[in-house]
Structure 1
């Protein structure tokens, strides 16, 4: 059975703008969903045992390696079983939350999800990345060029040498405008960015389903 795999990584719970926009996508989605909330139940960072487990057969693994292999196989199977993907990955200190990086390191396995002769098995499947950020990072802004979330994820998720997904991105910006006094001047821009993100999330949910 195919499904939408929804991976959350925001630590803010219901107050997260990334999660709120993701919920708009979910409200328009018709079909099964597998949801993994990394902020609530994080996956472990890739360890020496996890790397060794990828290089050894089952019979030769020690207990630590066997446990790491079992967890990796669960995450990889969950990834490969999805027909579409929804990732909420807010900008934290110019980069992605560490829990999302840990998940990526566990599912990016040569010979399983990448590095195969015919390309990645999930190639071409649609994926939406929602990455809210407190400031503005577009051309002409003081922060332009300092976004180390979206360019990284477009490569890691979308390049044919990695996972090969068909990646779309929404970046609701200036989320600090309602709470930081000196940024209140940017409220109209924040509100416009947020409204557009919600609208695009609805449209992308419909587009993803039309392509199934």
Structure 2
């Protein structure tokens, strides 16, 4: 059976988080198709990945038998994340926009799993071609043609990392205007938020079933 790697990074729990609500819809649809499958779950808000240190970084460019004890310990932590990524048949990432970019916890996870010669820039990479669905929620709208289009650094960055660097098969689902129910100045946008959220939930369920069917074939 297929393995799903599910990453959440929102600081808000449960239904208070739009990205978690949509990743949950994806995961439930996936598990309905794969009741005997495996889900590897990482909640980066609850258990953050360690930030890359000099030892963790330099160990990635040195053979294991040349590692110092400090490098070996730091690199062992990176390998845990890398092996989870390599085991995954599909990847699901909740990536809310915070201050125009991804959460620092998600950046830390990415820094751990990007390893040149293994997961990145390697012809024999085990992760290349793996489908990844990113739930890129945001409080406003940064779509093409909107006033804040130029401040959209989430999709641009993740395209460069997930698609161009790791070689993953990338798909975005983008629920917008998530601050509308909470900010009185945005109250007139609540119907647009609700429509965007419903569209995202539907898209997540459809995408999960499509991928599940692919692996069941």
Q: CA deviation at 1:32?
A: 1.5
Structure 1 residue aligned with 2:173, among 170, 188, 191? 170
2:206 — aligned with what? 203
Task: Give matches, 1:104-123, under 5 Å.
Answer: 104-116=110-122, 118=123, 120-123=125-128
1:85 matches 2:91: yes
1:156 — aligned with what? 161
Q: Structure 1: any 5+ residue segments left out of the alignment? A: none
TM-score of the superposition, structure 2-length normalised? 0.92
Please give the alpha-carbon distance, in whole angstroms, between the structure 1 residues aligned to 2:130 and 2:157. Answer: 18
Task: Give matches, 1:32-181, under 5 Å.
Answer: 32-116=38-122, 118=123, 120-159=125-164, 162-181=165-184
1:16 matches 2:17: yes
CA contact (8 A) 2:91 2:133 kept: yes
CA contact (8 A) 2:119 2:128 kept: no
TM-score of the superposition, structure 1-length normalised? 0.94
CA contact (8 A) 2:101 2:152 kept: yes
Which has the larger helix fraction?
A: 2
Q: What is the RMSD computed on CA atoms of the aligned residues?
A: 1.3
Deviations 1:108-137 (A, max 9, x none): 001110122x26432221110001111011
Runs of 4+ aligned residues of structure 1 deviating over 3 Å after TM superposition are none
Q: Structure 2: any 5+ residue segments left out of the alignment? A: none
**Number of aligned positions between the proteins:** 209
Please give the alpha-carbon distance, in whole angstroms, between the structure 1 residues aligned to 2:142 and 2:176. Answer: 8
